[in-house]
Amino acid sequence: MTHCKPLLAFVLCSALLALPVAAAEPLGLTWADVTKLPDFFSGNWQSVTSFLDHPSDVPFTAQAQAHVASYKPIEDIPFAGPGCKTPGMPIIQRLGSPLKFFYQPGMIAIYIENSSMTRFVKLNAQHSARPNPSYLGESVGHFERDTLVIDSIAFADDVLFQYGDLPGKGTGPFVLPPEAIFGPHGPNLRMVERIRLVDADTLEDRLTIYDDTVWKQPYVSSPVQIFKRNRGDAGWPSEWVCNNADVLTFDPGQNKTIQEDPAEVLKRLQQKENH
């Protein structure tokens, strides 16, 4: 029995050391927890990276490969038509207008100024049994030390979904819609984000996409999305209501940009004002 003492002591010590960790509640359950979280909340965060992905070598499934082989480039962004329809996740977060984080116990909300949409991330929770599809998806999250991990599922069929880039395209700092390949996603599309502060005013969002109808392996999004913090007045969120009176719009049906003579648009606006 004597020779078992060191082993017993090791086991007991290990158990004691593990106790505080096992007993600790996950972050995000109380109001006080906000003081322990990384400061995602002051000011707002503006994307400074390409909103479309750089080329990837993640292999396509046969189904996706067939789509890519017959794909015709688009001239502009499909959601640029009347009504400013959102592209959904993940692109909606990357469109330049800032993100604003909010906290309450059990939830982090992310206001996306572009389109005035808000993501609601349920903390330390499970996905619903039967989530309904939406453009931002259903999101649950938890903290792993300083990193907020968000797992999102249940996306609408018509979110703008990028497969990759056309051969030889998308190598510039900003990838343009005509350089990219878009297509339908599968029913089990899942996005996992790992969000953390790189420094006090820089936030990164590393995204991995799981869709076995499109890729044979998980797709690691590139570039890592970088956001810079606006403080003061610039860090205050604004509303964003779509106005349809643009001189320039893109018609996805015709795959072309539609121009109107500014004089005609002005006349219409002034007539509207006078009525």
Partner 1 sequence: MNVPCSSRLLAIAAALPMIFTVLPASAHHSAAPFDMTKQLTVQGTVEKWQWANPHSWLYVRVEKPDGTQEVWGFEGGSTGMMARSGWNSADMKAGDKVTVSAAPERSGSHIGLLNQVKLADGRVLKSGFGAPPPGAGGAPPGAGAPPPGAPTNNPPPR
Nearest alpha-carbon partner for 93 in 115, 72, 75, 73: 115
Nearest to partner 1 of 108, 176 (CB atom)? 176
Q: Is 5 helix (H, G, I), strand (E, B) or coil?
A: helix
Q: Are 103 and 30 a contacting pair, CB within 8 Å?
A: no
Number of Cβ within 10 Å of residue 87's Cβ equals 24
- Considering only 40, 51, 155, 219, the residue that binds partner 1 (CB under 8 A) is 51
- Considering only 50, 56, 213, 255, the residue that binds partner 1 (CB under 8 A) is 50
Give dist(CA 142, CA 119) in Å, integer.
15
The footprint of partner 1 on this chain (CB under 8 A) covers a number of residues equal to 56
Nearest to partner 1 of 97, 134 (CB atom)? 97
Give dist(CA 96, CA 22) in Å, integer.
41
Q: Does 220 bind partner 1 (CB under 8 A)?
A: no
Return the structure tokens found at 65.
């490969």
Nearest to partner 1 of 37, 95 (CB atom)? 95
Phi, psi values for residue 148, rounded to 5°: -90, 120
Q: Does 182 bind partner 1 (CB under 8 A)?
A: no
The residues in 9-38 that bind partner 1, with binding defined as CB under 8 A, are none
Nearest to partner 1 of 52, 64 (CB atom)? 52
Report in angstroms how near the CB of residue 48 gets to partner 1 at its nearest.
Answer: 4
> Which residues of the chain form contacts with partner 1 (CB under 8 A)?
46-51, 75-77, 79-80, 84, 94-98, 113-115, 172-174, 176-178, 201-202, 228-231, 233-234, 237-243, 245-250, 257, 259, 261-263, 265-266, 269-270
